[in-house]
Structure 1
Amino acid sequence: MTRTAKYHVQPVGNGNQGYFDKGGDQVDRGYAWAICATAGLIYTITDGVSFSTGVLFPEFMSYYSSPANEAAWISSLMFGAMLLSGPLIGVLISRFGARVVGFVGSLLAAGGMVASFWAPNVYYLMGTLGVLTGLGYGCIMLAALTSVTFWFDAKRGFAFGLAVVISGLGTFVISLLTAFLLDHYGLHGALLILAGVSLQGCILALLLRPAPKHLPEPLSHYPKKHFDPAMFKRVKFDIFLLACLIFATGYFPIFMFVTSWAEQVLQLNAVDAAAFLTIIAVAQLAGRMVCAVLIDRTWVNKSFLLAGALWCGGAAACLSLYCTTYKTAVMFCCVYGFGGGCAMVGLPMLTPLLVTKEQTEVASGFFVFAFGVSALLGLPAAGAVVEYLQGDFRWLMVGSGGLICAGSFVVAAIECH
């Protein structure tokens, strides 16, 4: 038997699930769960380290004597490069495969952090920690997303939910780790150690094998997926992208500035204020678990479920103006984090439902592109608002919450069209 014959793909059952190759792999079972676990660990690194820049943000301002609107560009460019590169990375994954793109991305991410060790100012960090590390994280994050999408069919929602639940634990741990590293090794030492954490993505990327029902026979006959502008003729997909844009514009600033908000409103020190990121991470984990359980239920409307969760998170942020005690601040962070956790599971799961199978990889790229636009423009704008308000973070939280609520209404409009 030739090597090519080993990769012959045949459907079984009803044609929607249970595809297999003669090597014994199947979607929705077997090695698919290894892909799910791998994706969870990849998200642990990308989500955990990128969102932990909220812990690093006050240190950026104090170490480099930088105003909030300048320091915010570091995280803005990281999220922007990570997410705006989505369409390009989607095409690269179609051409070279998730394994190669993820491996190279991990090297880029780690290299950007190592280069940040010698950063003399925030402008240097914008290029290294912002652009290089963000681009690397974008590569490995989308490689994991597309791998889960194609290794699962009937159990896709549950699998992706499980992966982001795993990453929720990682976000919780890495936020604590980042605060610990800052306290013991300083800013540059923390960045160097986080570079080592990012480098583990190379090992994880090697586990991202092609899904059986997409294995080539022969390889040269494998249909490549390219940008298809017809996806934008699908009005529901356009509405979905708009919802992501509005929601993320409100979501990112809260996560980035919540520690500074806690220091100002509750008069906490930097270590105690950083605990609110941990609270949000735990609440996100709960939201991810609940959404993962509910999202694939036949009696659940995915759009309305997400709209409700997002609205609650946005409303909590709007009411943060009245959170002047530690207990009420914790309640605000819990509800906001829970809504965000639901979004992390539910929004990616809507993407393949709104486009064709052939458009899924590139459509996923545009999904993260929408988040990238929000991060690139929203965070510096939020920093400028804080500067205009002379360092008052309270109204920034209220305005961000309003944007999240607006995004929830647009999500609900997907079903109304």
Structure 2
Amino acid sequence: MPAPQRKHRRGGFSHRCFPTPQTAMTPEAAGPPDRGWGWVVAAAAFAINGLSYGLLRSLGLAFPDLAEHFDRSAQDTAWISALALAVQQAASPVGSALSTRWGARPVVMVGGVIASLGLLLAPIPSHSFAGSGWALVFAPALGTLSLYFSRRRVLAVGLALTGNGASSLLLAPALQLLLDTFGWRGALLLLGAITLHLTPCGALLLPLALPGDPPAPPRSPLAALGLGLFTRRAFSIFALGTALVGGGYFVPYVHLAPHALDRGLGGYGAALVVAVAAMGDAGARLVCGWLADQGWVPLPRLLAVFGALTGLGLWVVGLVPVVGGEESWGGPLLAAAVVYGLSAGSYAPLVFGVLPGLVGIEGVVQATGLVMMLMSLGGLLGPPLSGFLRDETGDFTASFLVSGSLILSGSFIYVGLPRALPSCGPASPPATPPPERGELLPAPQAVLLSPGGPRSTLDTTC
């Protein structure tokens, strides 16, 4: 026979006895751990970024061999990377939606297999297939990383994003060695095997349940894509600014080396310009991540400032004087490239670090995918516009000035973001209203993990 329920009288109200702390977990008692396995997730995201963006940036070394074998022009083979990048970024919301529905681990692991197969198959038509695999890995990995960190979130994101530059520095000479040793077929075969390492990296993305997580994954496809985030004013402002920034941000990825050649530098001098910009970019991501986590300046203001500095950096790159001679190392252009790399690298972690404050920690995976899609729109329009201006004017000066102006316009829109964002930690539960006279307060429920998603324990009483 169950024990009779005890009632306590206080101030005329009747209360049920609350469960003990062992049977109920209050949402305030937990939060992002900021340590431990989170750094393993950061390392996995670092590798995922390197095996997607870093590898994609290095594939251009194989284009001359592909153009010769298939009797295609350089413009035709250049579409390999363009299509792969477009598919990767434009399809990122699909990776976010699948991750929201089934979790990041299986989605990233499957994406690694697809990307690997895309490199193992016929090279020209299949790179968009590889891009679809890469689209499944980046947003889920970065979103999972954001769940593990609060105080050091931007630093962790910056660390993960340095995988791009580090991988480019390592894979570029390695790919050239593979091309010289095994030819393009053998090189792509080995790159496919290397890309398969995305699968064990995905296995490291252990799920983390935080208070405030949605009780069940969204069942509607539109809800899974997160399109409802555009109804939030702050996110809409951020989306518009990011789309404009994307129109100029990727131009140096494509045209910085040709611009250096136009300025009179030789091949090795142009390569040095690209290298110093990449090194400045990678170092600034870590430094800016640490700076942002100190809380001295609100993240939206840092985002606007470093975005504006990136646009001004492109202006400087476009306006440096002509440096003549094949033997010249191009001191002014090198200095401008360093300035640009530092500002662009500082901007990168802030774009993703500001998302939890805009959409809440529960929407960060979907928001990451949408940001990638928005930047892909600018990435598809910016480089062709830059090439058109080069053909019309004879050099890249107008190209870099227009690209810098697009970035400055987007940074100006960022000023409309709230100065102080709400806490990006776990959401607090709604306050329980005071009971009416004679009403019993509901007992708290504990949230447990299960394979089918979060569920609640049975209501228990003393």
On the 8 A contact 2:96/2:225 being kept in 1, the answer is no
Normalised by the length of structure 1, the TM-score is 0.82
For 1:248 and 1:272, the matched residues in 2 are separated by 27
Tell me by how many angstroms 1:103 deviates.
Answer: 1.2
Within the alignment, does 1:211 sit opposite 2:230 as a pair? no
Q: 381-390 or 254-263: which moved more?
A: 381-390
Quote the Cα distance in structure 1 between the aligned partners of 2:416 and 2:262.
37
Pair 1:368 & 2:366 matched: no
Pairwise CA RMSD: 3.1
Distance 1:103 1:282, change over 3 A: same
Give the aligned partner of residue 329 of structure 1: 333
1:31 and 2:24 aligned: no
Q: CA deviation at 1:75?
A: 2.7
Q: Does 1:277 align with 2:287?
A: no
CA distance in 1, matches of 2:134, 2:201: 13
Change (3 A) 1:305 1:357: closer
CA contact (8 A) 2:314 2:403 kept: yes
Structure 1: distance between partners of 2:409 and 2:60: 24
Tell me the distance in 1 between the aligned counterparts of 2:357 and 2:23. 24
SS at 1:213 equivalent: coil
> What amino acid maps onto 1:17 in structure 2?
G
Aligned to 1:265: 263
Distance 1:176 1:402 in 2: 34
Change (3 A) 1:228 1:173: closer
Segment of structure 1 superposing worse, 310-319 or 55-64:
55-64
Name the counterpart of 1:102.
Answer: 108
Q: Residue 213 and residue 132 in structure 1: after superposition, are their counterparts in 2 closer, same or farther (change >3 A)?
A: same
Deviation at 1:84, TM superposition (A): 1.0
- Report the equivalent of 2:343: 339
In the TM superposition, residue 62 of structure 1 has moved relative to its aligned partner by 7.6
Q: Output the amino acid matched with 2:246.
A: A
How is 1:56-75 mapped onto 2 (pairs within 5 angstroms)?
66=73, 68=75, 70-75=76-81
The answer on 1:356 being equivalent to 2:360 is yes
Task: Report whether the alignment pairs 1:48 with 2:51.
Answer: no
Q: What are the within-5 Å matches in structure 2 for residues 18-417 of structure 1?
A: 27-53=33-59, 66=73, 68=75, 70-116=76-122, 119=123, 125=124, 127-129=125-127, 131-181=128-178, 188-213=185-210, 222-224=216-218, 226-269=224-267, 271-320=268-317, 321-325=319-323, 326-389=330-393, 392-415=395-418
CA contact (8 A) 1:76 1:375 kept: no
Higher helix share: 1
Instruction: State the Cα distance separating 1:261 from its structure 2 match.
Output: 2.0
Task: Give per-residue Cα distances to partners, 1:358-395, cap 9 Å, x unaligned.
Answer: 333222221111012122333333344444446x3343
Larger-Rg structure? 2
Shift of 1:161: 2.3
Contact 1:98 1:147 survives alignment (8 Å): yes
How far apart, CA to CA, are the structure 1 residues paired with 2:23 and 2:312?
A: 49
Give the letter aligned to residue 232 of structure 2: R
- 10, 31, 40: which is aligned to 1:17? 31
**TM-aligned CA distance change 1:329 to 1:186, over 3 Å:** farther
Any conservation in 1 of the 2:57–2:168 contact (CA below 8 Å)?
A: yes
* Count of aligned positions: 387
CA distance in 2, matches of 1:226, 1:364: 13
TM-score (norm 2): 0.74
The 3 A distance-change label for structure 1 pair 48 and 156 is same
Give 2:439's aligned residue. Answer: none
* AA matched with 1:332: A
Distance 2:23 2:191 in 1: 41
- Unaligned ranges ≥5, structure 1: 1-7, 19-26, 120-124
Distance 1:201 1:397, change over 3 A: same
Q: Give the drift of 1:17.
A: 1.7
Q: Measure the CA separation in 2 of the matches of 1:262 and 1:280.
A: 12
The residue that corresponds to 2:444 in the other structure is none
Task: Report how far residue 59 of structure 1 moved.
Answer: 7.0
Q: Which residue of 2 aligns with 1:23?
A: none
Question: Percent same amino acid at aligned positions?
Answer: 27
Indicate how the Cα distance of structure 1 residues 62 and 16 shifts in structure 2: closer, same or farther if over 3 A, else same. Answer: farther
State the shift of 1:266 in Å.
2.6
| Distance in 2 of aligned mates of 1:314 and 1:55 | 28
Alpha-carbon offset, residue 347 of structure 1: 0.2
Give the 3 Å change call, closer, same or farther, for CA 59–349 of structure 1 in structure 2. Answer: farther
* Residue matched to 1:4: none
Q: C-alpha distance in 1, partners of 2:98/2:400? A: 37
Q: 1:316 to 1:155 in 2, by over 3 A?
A: closer
Do the aligned partners of 1:228 and 1:359 also contact (CA within 8 Å) in 2? yes
Structure 2 residue runs without a partner (length 5+): 1-21, 324-329, 421-462
**Residue 272 of structure 1, CA deviation:** 4.6
CA contact (8 A) 1:76 1:379 kept: no
8 A contact 1:280–1:337 mirrored in 2: yes
